[in-house]
Amino acid sequence: MHRKIEMPLFDLSGKTAIVTGGTKGLGLGIAATYASYGANVIITARTAADITAACAHIQEQYITGNNLCIGVAADSGKQADIDKVISSALETFGKVDILVNNAGISGKTAPILSDECDEENFISVIDTNLKGVFLLSKAVAKQMAKQGSGGKIINISSVGGLIGGKGLVAYGASKAGVLSMTKTMANEFARYGITVNAICPGYVVTPLNEDIFANEDIRKKMESRTAVRRLGTIEEIAGPALAMASDCFSYMTGTYLLLDGGQTIGG
């Protein structure tokens, strides 16, 4: 006798998600996708005006139910700001189910031996991209463990964490660190029903880099490095991020999704 295999839907109704760096680019795309699939969303960024605009955009364009999008001005590298984010989530929604550590900076593009590749730049990138993931994940995991209902942590790493891109030593080191930390957190948090995974995007067009990719020579050069011969879109990252936040990926932890159009297989 044959029976239909029921697959979990990409339904986040009743879930509460925190998305850092959620006002632009990948963060905004992921936050909007989660909201459109029923989640209550808290987006964080450093600029209050950007948060207000992003929340209004998500609320007006993506939310059709009773769920909400709120914003908190915060630096995920500062403990006081992290406490503020957690408090806001609990005061408004009573719990946290999903965390997406998306906030990040690339820092200066410069060879290691150049003057521009200095200690200040290195520390700035590490503080945002690595320390921020550590601090917020720790705080959220504590809350998830206290709730007793598990949760999902999704870290946005990068192809840059897998290959040694020239001129971005701090960025590459931070994103490689995120992948290593993802494995350790997955090991330690599993007993609480918390899964921890990462996404490694390749070349993706966002509002932050579209001016660069508008240069035909640069665009063609980047496209030639991928097997699919094109750049990725925000939707192509937000979709897998939705799947990872849903019940479909409940058996996956401690690993990463490589979404690079075939860049790392030699193009």
Mean pLDDT by runs of 10 across the 267 residues of the chain is 69 97 96 97 96 97 95 93 97 98 93 94 95 97 98 97 91 97 98 98 88 90 94 96 94 97 87
In the chain, domain spans: 16-203+233-261
CATH fold of 16-203+233-261, please?
A: Rossmann fold (3.40.50)
Q: Which pLDDT belongs to residue 7?
A: 67
Per-residue model confidence as pLDDT tens digits over 190-220: 999 999 999 999 999 988 788 888 999 999 9
The active-site residue, picked from 34, 36, 175, 256, is 175
Separation between Cα atoms, residue 220 and residue 250, nearest integer Å? 38
Longest dimension (CA), the chain: 71
Token pair of 85 as six digits:
């984010």
Angle at the Cα of 131 from the Cα atoms of 129 and 211, rounded to 5 degrees? 15
Catalytic residue among 36, 76, 157, 174: 157
Instruction: Output the CA torsion sign for 82, 87, 88, 94.
Output: positive
Compute CA 12 distance to the chain's CA centroid, rounded to the nearest angstrom.
17
Q: Please tell me which residue in 37, 171, 203, 256 is annotated as part of the active site.
A: 171
Is there a catalytic annotation at residue 157?
yes
- DSSP letters spanning 42-71: EEEES-HHHHHHHHHHHHHHT--SS--EEE
**What is the reported pLDDT for 207?**
81
| Residue 206 pLDDT | 87
Residue range 30-60, pLDDT digits in tens: 999 999 999 999 999 999 999 999 999 999 9
pTM of the model as a whole? 0.95
DSSP 254: S
Count Cα atoms within 13 angstroms, Cβ side, for 57.
Answer: 15
Q: Is 124 a catalytic residue?
A: no
Q: What is the pLDDT of residue 164?
A: 82
Per-residue pLDDT at 267: 63
- Average model confidence (pLDDT) across the chain: 94
3-state secondary structure string across 103-140: CCCCCCCCCCCCCCCCHHHHHHHHHHHHHHHHHHHHHH
